A and B are shown apart, each in its own frame.
Chain A
């Protein structure tokens, strides 16, 4: 077992990759809890696609990819608020259109280059094994920033997730809160772009948090567990993809392997969860509330 989990990481590039995915795991796990509680998986998915043209433009202009992605992330958040407000359109449709049209813009820009296919793949799926020290520092800074904001705004964000009407009634500017969360998601996407690519970031955000939600009841514990699961998935995924690629000659993309491992962890959590409830011998308020809501539907 130790051969699998420790040996690959004697190599410096693997060590950097490991550090990157562990940092990302913690970061995405924390943000992911709010994405799952607020049922924002679609928004998060959209953001992973809409920052793509920003990344491409920055790359073509030889500027900071971070800034390019961030610019488009902010643009998305603003447009989403604006378009989604139109009652005839609705949030779902607005997101789908924003997501696909921005993504198409990126594809069109990339398609003018000769290395279209491989560039596209790199943007979409990342190249975690080519992470360098500058990338690590960038990820660390973003992680600290995002986690600090989450910690500072924790009670407001939880309130907004749990009782949106109550939050408004208490006088919170929910539009601002939502914008802040969307920006945080955009930052997380930006942080993960190089490592796992825009497509697989969604998995890092949603899956560990969804798994944690099945197992624990309190937001803080959920965030910690999600971070732990994300980091564990990253570690295991890297180890497995290395082992299979080097040991068996079947080249497995690292980013994708990490995601598959995370989903496997989720499925384990999903099968363990009902047993946990049986052991506790009672139904928690959340379950009853959910049941009541289902009944009223």
Chain B
């Protein structure tokens, strides 16, 4: 325990810790919606595609997250437009936009000297260099996103469960879709300082997927997921400080470890539970 306390003394570490907690909690909640609406691939693509926005913002001297955010909106529109055409199915459309946007970002960045270091920070995060300004931005974004999710909760859940049903009830389905995609985009962008564009998806998917293995109820999932997100972030940060390795990546490994363990031991949906259920079923079916 004292090892943990000792690890967390020091200004930059405190800031990193605060950022980790906020990002972990926010991604945990948004991640549940990402899973329910089957958006992991889209989130991945968004993470890659906001990259040119970050670069453009850096070149223009504008706030990086703003650049990423605005570019992300553009990407959301592009994907929706491309995916709506016949012959270009959603997956390939997303793949094309992902690849193109990322390459564009690399191009823009490579035109500058010394681009390797900045690139690494954008891709895998640099939580230990988080500034008070970033903390304020994350907090603001976090509150806004959570507020909107709470307000639209029942509509978003219905839309994930029964999209035609949502349309039949007369709701503006496309608007709600876009709203959710934008919420995901904003969350991703807010997580970039902590874990970078590629790894932000992990915090969106892993804690939520882990929570889904332990409970059948939506309310419980929405509580457990952010807790797991925070735990992954804090433990990951501590371990990375101790072993002096990349923080963002370590956070992701911890989140993945929680998932892997749950995959095996979760009572009903983990491996142990399913084997037990199957054994019980065969025993019951055996003639007396």
Contact between A and B in the complex (any CB pair below 8 Å): yes
A residues neighboring B (CB under 8 Å): 36, 39-42, 44-45, 49, 83, 86, 88-90, 92-93, 95-97, 99-101, 103-105, 107-108, 110-112, 116-118, 120-121, 124-125, 199-200, 202-203, 206-207, 209-210, 213-214, 250-253, 255-260, 262-263, 266, 270, 273, 286-287, 290-291
Nearest 7 A/B pairs, CB to CB: A203-B99, A259-B103, A101-B256, A41-B95, A100-B202, A263-B100, A111-B246
Contact B40 A96 (CB under 8 A): yes
Q: How large is the interface on B (under 10, 10 to 19, 20 to 34, 35 or more residues)?
A: 35 or more
Contact A120 B95 (CB under 8 A): no
Pick the residue among A92, A199, A266 that contacts B102 (CB under 8 A): A199
Contact A100 B87 (CB under 8 A): no
B29 interface hit (Cβ, 8 Å): no
Assuming A49-B198, A207-B100, A258-B103, what are 4 further A-B pairs, CB within 8 angstroms?
A101-B202, A104-B253, A260-B103, A270-B82
Pick the residue among A92, A97, A110, A260 that contacts B104 (CB under 8 A): A260
| Chain B residues, Cβ within 8 Å of A89 | 209, 212-213, 263
| Chain B residues, Cβ within 8 Å of A255 | 103, 106
Query: In the complex, which residue of chain B has the Cβ closest to the Cβ of A217?
Result: B87
Contact with A along B185-217 (1 / 0, CB 8 A): 000000000000011011011101100110000
Task: Name the distance in Å between B268's Cβ and chain A's nearest Cβ.
Answer: 9
Task: Name the distance in Å between B254's Cβ and chain A's nearest Cβ.
Answer: 9
Residues 18-70 of B at the A interface (beta carbon under 8 Å): 35, 38, 40-41, 43-44
Query: In the complex, which residue of chain A has the Cβ closest to the Cβ of B270?
Result: A86
B94 interface hit (Cβ, 8 Å): yes
B127 interface hit (Cβ, 8 Å): no
B residues neighboring A (CB under 8 Å): 35, 38, 40-41, 43-44, 82, 85-89, 91-96, 98-100, 102-104, 106-107, 110-111, 113, 115-117, 119-120, 123-124, 198-199, 201-202, 204-206, 208-209, 212-213, 244-246, 248-250, 252-253, 255-256, 259, 263, 269, 274
Cα–Cα, bound, A95→B201 (Å): 11
Query: In the complex, which residue of chain B has the Cβ closest to the Cβ of A258?
Result: B103
Task: Name the distance in Å between A287's Cβ and chain B's nearest Cβ.
Answer: 6
| Chain B residues, Cβ within 8 Å of A118 | 116
Contact A92 B38 (CB under 8 A): yes
Contact B263 A86 (CB under 8 A): yes
| Chain B residues, Cβ within 8 Å of A93 | 35, 40, 205, 208-209
Contact A200 B103 (CB under 8 A): yes
A to B CB contacts below 8 Å, 24 in the list: A39-B89, A45-B95, A83-B263, A88-B269, A96-B40, A100-B198, A101-B202, A105-B249, A105-B253, A108-B250, A111-B246, A118-B116, A120-B116, A120-B119, A121-B120, A210-B92, A251-B111, A253-B106, A253-B107, A262-B99, A263-B100, A266-B96, A287-B87, A290-B87
Pick the residue among B92, B201, B244 that contacts A206 (CB under 8 A): B92
By secondary structure, the B interface counts as helix
Cα–Cα, bound, A260→B204 (Å): 29
The residue among B99, B111, B213 with the most chain A CB atoms within 10 A of its own CB is B99
Known A-B contacts A89-B263, A117-B119, A251-B111; the reply to A256 vs B209 at CB < 8 A is no
Pick the residue among B91, B208, B246 that contacts A42 (CB under 8 A): B91
Known A-B contacts A95-B40, A259-B103; the reply to A100 vs B92 at CB < 8 A is no
Contact A257 B107 (CB under 8 A): yes
| Chain A residues, Cβ within 8 Å of B204 | 96
Contact B205 A207 (CB under 8 A): no
Task: Name the distance in Å between A45's Cβ and chain B's nearest Cβ.
Answer: 7
Pick the residue among A95, A125, A206 that contacts B95 (CB under 8 A): A206
Cα–Cα, bound, A214→B96 (Å): 13
Cα–Cα, bound, A112→B245 (Å): 6
Contact A96 B44 (CB under 8 A): yes
Pick the residue among A49, A111, A121, A214 that contacts B245 (CB under 8 A): A111
Contact A92 B41 (CB under 8 A): yes
Cα–Cα, bound, A95→B45 (Å): 13
Cα–Cα, bound, A206→B99 (Å): 9
Contact A39 B269 (CB under 8 A): no
Query: In the complex, which residue of chain B has the Cβ closest to the Cβ of A200?
Result: B103
Task: Name the distance in Å between A100's Cβ and chain B's nearest Cβ.
Answer: 4
Contact A260 B249 (CB under 8 A): no
